[in-house]
Chains A and B, each alone.
Chain A
């Protein structure tokens, strides 16, 4: 028997209390290591992967590190606070403050080692799976061989080694500095009656209202408003738990209720206030997980619809009269066929490109001018061949003479043309032609070519014929639109064509949604996959935070319920009191987190094209998260009740 042996045994005896903390740390190490293994895999490093997917994984790594720093510092110090009594005892027995510090340092390093070994081993095991999944998601031409790059190993060791070591040193130093008295008496002295201030209650609601308003009313300024929104929400939520809850419970307390109710309300007033910080963290984590996963899943579901809404054709070639193109419509068709993509439909649309002047405006904007019959014919063909687009393509009667429709892509959020009612078409060398705009249609009939007009004026056939006769040659354009089967995979054909076209020519004359689609799809798949791991990590953190809180109040509750039993509280009643309390502890952060994410998703939908509906996927994510929390709750309830309520205990703990 020596001091070191006893200390080691003592530390191992506390393992149960540290399980949640250890598991979360290990998962953090695991996720980080897996991402690193992927990013530093030589096959991945040397090409084959888009920079955005790489950026996402790197970003996720940073998130994991930030999380690890926060989690390790916050929860380890909270766990140590539970052991104040034990440290106090050691000091009374004559341990030097330095020895206590050493002991904590030693324990921290032991735990860090365990977390890193377990995390890296699990990470190595899962990397194979991860690589296979990424292979499929990213649709790489060659599969990635399994490897555990030395750099990934070094990086994970260095990053987490530093985080853990810094934390261990900091904690040891802090424990050392606290006086023995604080450690001995720290147990019961800190209880303060729950009070609230009207001013802070108001501040809490004001913060939340401001955050929600900022989010909903200024969606487009999201980059500028994000940080203030996060700060306001965090502060508002914290005050919600520490002030508003106390206010509500104080009012409930004044109303006379049953004995059980008084007990629940009285205990909750203390509990929620004491746990305000943890509840805030859990709420924010829940909101982040639900929002990001719901948003990403919802968007991924709609990528195809969003893409085809803005760019309905697989390829559009815009041919200006008198300008030869590097890849003609005919060549485009044969390239598709050479790559075994069947052209389902090829449409040719004659249009004019003319300057247009809005009423009350001095400047001219080039627009496409299309005849009503071309519009009708094209729309009918598109509705026929792309049934998913039908609901976004309105059927409208042709305009009368002197009137027109303004048609624009649904991808544009808003602009000066949104509410245009009249204007003038400028035909070079002739008088301006005044027209009345009957309506604005948010639907794309043509792909949106980068440096070509964004708006289309649909005019009566006779006006079109007249202007067409007046307009000079270069104003005449012919749009060749192709729809190919299985277009999502036509990347190779498009790339072959693009390779022959200089950049500026491509921007003015060609547009295909395929490259963007492929990249977006890859992006979202990566986000979902990486996000999944980060979400699991966050979820575990939520769980262990709550688990830890329960551990912290266990002893106090054991005392209380033993006392209550003596004055006649039945086991059934004790169970129902604790069940209500636990339900609230678990449900409150999920519900408030849900409220935050509903606002965030509403905010997001403001930024999305019309017709994109991410709510169903959001609902599924909420369901999964809530379901997992319910499992946590059931397990926690079973364990906690068994340990707190005297009648349920297995194996008595002495007198």
Chain B
């Protein structure tokens, strides 16, 4: 059953003004099923970030539709979009975006409190989530007291604490060293396998992408090719396959 359906999505920048018109997205179609872990790859400027902004309702598409379960995202007003984001979406950024003024537990609790939850069960839910991510000892520390990897795992906790329908991740390993990256990707894998979370991750790191089950390559604002990992395939082999696909995508001889 599809969680997310994108139909012929187009985004044109600069249309209002005379001069350069830039088509960031040029009729993209995409479907993500429940429990899938999908990566989106593509060269710089291929429209990855634009796509993510549109999915999150942070920007308005020029044309096309976005459906999350039975809800058309494009039909929502500003306040409804806010409610939609706080209940159905989890967001992980490249640069963590934690608030330095709040502790780890408080940062994680933000989406719940925002939806009007309060009292002890908020804390319980936070502890449960944080324990899953191996951060239980750092609950009352501040972001600047944590390592980059811990900060990013905190951000993941914040993205899943309210049990969203889909987690959107924008280059989540971009600021991490390789050990922390690997740890984070394993967290994603566990989320996907143990909690059946649906994850859509934008990345240009083939290693990160090799943890997902399906890869969508985009170029010039449209889907260029797709790559599925079959159930038994080893990650290392999938990684090699990604590298060859990327070579084709970027027009290099492999």
Contact = CB atoms under 8 A, between A and B. Distances in A.
A and B: interacting chains: yes
Interface string A1-17: 11101100110111000
B25 interface: no
A339 interface: no
Given A1-B109, A94-B111, A654-B151, A86 B99 contact: yes
B106 A6 contact: yes
B101 A89 contact: no
Interface size class on chain A is 20 to 34
B228 interface: no
A631 interface: no
A180 interface: yes
Interface in B73-108: 78-79, 82-87, 89, 91, 97, 99-102, 105-106
Contacts of B86: 93-95
A232 B144 CA distance: 48
A227 interface: no
A644 to B, nearest CB: 16
Given A6-B113, A10-B99, A89-B97, A184 B82 contact: no
B22 interface: no
B102 A9 contact: yes
Interface in A179-235: 180-181, 184
B53 A654 contact: no
A365 to B, nearest CB: 72
Contacts, number: 95
Contacts of A2: 113, 117-119, 122
B114 A3 contact: yes
A94 B87 contact: yes
10 contacts: A1-B123, A2-B117, A3-B113, A5-B113, A6-B109, A13-B101, A89-B99, A93-B110, A94-B82, A95-B82
B83 A96 contact: yes
Nearest to B87: A94
B186 interface: no
A217 B91 CA distance: 66
B82 A14 contact: no
B146 interface: yes
B78 A96 contact: yes
Given A181-B59, A655-B147, A93 B85 contact: yes
Nearest to A85: B97
Interface residues of B, number: 43
B101 A9 contact: yes
Contacts of A85: 97
B58 interface: yes
Nearest to B103: A9
A9 B122 CA distance: 17
B91 to A, nearest CB: 5
Interface in A76-122: 85-86, 89-99
A635 interface: no
Interface string B139-157: 0000111111001000000
Nearest to A92: B91
Given A93-B91, A98-B79, A181 B97 contact: no
Given A94-B86, A94-B89, A1 B58 contact: no
A142 interface: no
A177 to B, nearest CB: 10
Interface in A345-395: none
Contacts of B4: none
Contacts of A96: 78-79, 82-83
Nearest to B110: A93
A653 B78 contact: no
Contacts of A98: 79
Contact of B84 (A3, A10, A94): A94
B66 interface: no
Interface in A44-100: 85-86, 89-99
B115 interface: yes
Interface in A246-285: none
For the complex of A and B, the 3 pairs showing the least CB-CB separation, nearest first, are A94-B86, A13-B101, A2-B118
Contacts of B148: 654-655
Given A94-B89, A184-B58, A1 B118 contact: yes
Contacts of A99: 82, 114
Nearest to B99: A10
A391 B86 CA distance: 84
Given A93-B91, A94-B86, A653-B144, A6 B59 contact: no
Nearest to A86: B99
Contacts of B58: 91-92, 180-181, 184
